[in-house]
Structure 1
Amino acid sequence: MRSALRRKAGVVAYTDGACIKNPGGPAGWSAILVPVERLDQPLTEIPAERIEAHGHIPPSATTTNNRAEIAALLAALSLAPPDRPLKIWSDSQYTVKVAMGDYKARMNPDLWQLFRWLVNHRTAPLSFGWVRGHAGQVLNERADELAGLGAWQDDRAAYEQWLRSQQPEARSGVRNIEARRGELEAADALRPSAAELEHMRDQVQELLRLLESGRIALKDNERQFLYNMAQRLRYPDFVPTAGQRNWLKGLTARARRTL
Structure 2
Amino acid sequence: MNENTITVSTDGSALSNPNGPMGWAWADHRGGDADAGGASNGTNQIGELCAVLQALRAHRGPETLVIETDSQYAINCSSKWVHGWKKKGWRNSQGKSVKNRPLIEAIDREIRQREGPVRFVWVKGHAGDRFNEKVDMLARGYATAARDGSREGCLPVEGWRSLLDSPYSQGLDMPDAVQEELDGSAGVLDSNGRKRNRLSEPDEEDLEDRGEMAEEEMSEADDDQAEMDHDYQGDEAGQEEEDEEPKGPGAQSDEAGSDRASRGLRASGRVCITPPPSQSPNFAGKDLHISGTIEFSADIDQEGMVVLDQVPFRLHGIEVRGQE
TM-score (ref. length: structure 2): 0.43
Find the partner of 1:96 among 61, 66, 75.
Answer: 75
Match of 1:163 in 2: none
Whole-Å Cα distance in 1 between the matches of residues 52 and 134 of structure 2? 15
Match of 1:110 in 2: 102
Q: Secondary structure at 1:81's aligned position in 2?
A: coil
Flag structure 1 segments of 5+ consecutive residues without an equivalent. 1-6, 36-48, 159-196, 213-221, 238-259
Question: Counterpart amino acid of 1:133?
Answer: G
Find the partner of 2:32 among 28, 50, 57.
Answer: 50
Find the partner of 2:14 among 3, 15, 19.
Answer: 19
Whole-Å Cα distance in 2 between the matches of residues 137 and 69 of structure 1? 17
Match of 2:239 in 1: 206
Whole-Å Cα distance in 2 between the matches of residues 149 and 234 of structure 1? 14
Flag structure 2 segments of 5+ consecutive residues without an equivalent. 86-91, 93-97, 151-230, 261-324
**Deviation at residue 86 of structure 1 after TM alignment:** 0.1
Percent of pairs identical after alignment? 26
Q: Secondary structure at 1:133's aligned position in 2?
A: coil
- Residues 85-164 of structure 1 aligned to structure 2 (within 5 Å): 85-102=64-81, 106-153=98-145
1:80 aligns with 2:80: no
Distance 1:126 1:108, change over 3 A: same
Distance 1:52 1:154, change over 3 A: farther
Q: Secondary structure at 2:29's aligned position in 1?
A: strand
Match of 1:66 in 2: 45
Whole-Å Cα distance in 2 between the matches of residues 229 and 64 of structure 1? 12
Match of 2:95 in 1: none
Distance 1:10 1:122, change over 3 A: same
Match of 2:26 in 1: 31
Distance 1:9 1:227, change over 3 A: farther
Name the structure where helix makes up a greater proportion of residues. 1
Distance 1:211 1:144, change over 3 A: closer
Q: Deviations over 1:88-124 (max 9, x none)?
A: 0001111112222157562110110111121122011
Whole-Å Cα distance in 2 between the matches of residues 227 and 76 of structure 1? 32
Match of 2:169 in 1: none
- The size of the alignment, in residue pairs, is 163
Whole-Å Cα distance in 1 between the matches of residues 79 and 256 of structure 2? 22
Supply the RMSD in Å over aligned alpha carbons: 3.7
Find the partner of 2:4 among 1, 4, 9.
Answer: 9
Contact (CA 8 Å) 1:17, 1:144: kept in 2 or not?
A: yes
Contact (CA 8 Å) 1:30, 1:146: kept in 2 or not?
A: yes
Q: Secondary structure at 1:18's aligned position in 2?
A: strand
Contact (CA 8 Å) 2:68, 2:122: kept in 1 or not?
A: yes
Q: Secondary structure at 2:62's aligned position in 1?
A: coil
